[in-house]
Structure 1
Amino acid sequence: MKEDGYRVKRYSEPVKRYCQTLDLKENPELIERYKYLHSSEASWKEIRAGIRQVGILEMEIYIIGSRLFMIVETPLDFNWDEAMEKLATLPRQQEWEGVVAEFQKCEPGATSSEKWRLMERMFYLYE
């Protein structure tokens, strides 16, 4: 339940975090279908494997209305541009992007890194 919060994975070494946003089309039926496509029972194993293959340790997507927010955790030496370039060439990735583009507010043929916009951190409470 969202009011209880979400447990965060612990790592044996420091990691860095990337945050992204993307908007879906304002259609409740499409949004429910999009959520189902990302469920553990419906998501494509090749896509999950590709995410891991490029060095991503954890990826979470949150939703409110039609707004998505993604958190990506990686090792400190992770190179975002190189990883996204590699991810775009992996098995079924282009096919997956075509399927999910039906639900997303994006340009036709856009890659994942072109659709999801990296966000700037403007506040933190770390000491």
Structure 2
Amino acid sequence: MAQPQPRRFAQIVHLKPSAIAAYKECHANVWPEILDKIKECNIIDYSIFFDNDRTLFATFKYTGTDIDADMDKMAALPRMREWWAMTDGMQESPIPGAVSSAEGPGWWKPLEEVFHTD
């Protein structure tokens, strides 16, 4: 049986101008537990881009079969919640009513894919 194609995701959040250097620094030195959990939760090819104004654009592929369960597993890791608290403090969510990456209606705004090539 053939492996299903990975699901592709893209999302945005805004970076506070005062946090640009700190955000880039923490992502240049991501905690190993964070990288391990991302991989364990079936996320590959994860990238974050900055438009040098205020928008962060993230893209990744999900290779698992139950993204909700994998995201719950990710959120259950105390070190991940610590990472999110740190990085959320550097960001402003475009989602109305957003509380944090760990709770609420979401933090990063999902984007609709309108085109891609293989």
**Unpaired segments ≥5 residues, structure 1:** 1-11
Task: Flag as ranges the 4+ runs of structure 1 deviating above 6 A.
Answer: none
Matched, 1:72 2:72: no
CA deviation after TM superposition for structure 1 residue 70, in Å: 0.6
Matched, 1:36 2:28: no
Matched to 1:21, the amino acid is I
Normalising by structure 2, we get a TM-score of: 0.78
Supply the distance in 1 between the matched residues of 2:60 and 2:87 (Cα, whole angstroms): 19
For 2:85, the equivalent position in structure 1 comes to: 98
8 Å CA contact retained: 2:100, 2:106: no
CA RMSD of aligned residues (A): 2.5
Matched, 1:62 2:49: yes
8 Å CA contact retained: 2:99, 2:107: no
Supply the distance in 2 between the matched residues of 1:104 and 1:97 (Cα, whole angstroms): 10
Percent identity for Structure 1 against Structure 2: 25
User: What is the 5 A alignment of 1:80-91?
Assistant: 80-91=67-78
Supply the distance in 1 between the matched residues of 2:33 and 2:5 (Cα, whole angstroms): 27
**Unpaired segments ≥5 residues, structure 2:** none
Matched, 1:116 2:103: no
Normalising by structure 1, we get a TM-score of: 0.73
For each residue in 1:6-31, what CA deviation from the matched residue of structure 2 results, as whole angstroms up to 9, or x when unmatched?
A: xxxxxx9732211111111133xx11
Inter-CA distance 78–57: structure 2 relative to 1 (3 Å threshold): farther
Matched to 1:15, the amino acid is P
Supply the distance in 1 between the matched residues of 2:116 and 2:76 (Cα, whole angstroms): 38
Matched to 1:101, the amino acid is D
For 1:18, the equivalent position in structure 2 comes to: 9
Report the count of equivalent residues: 110
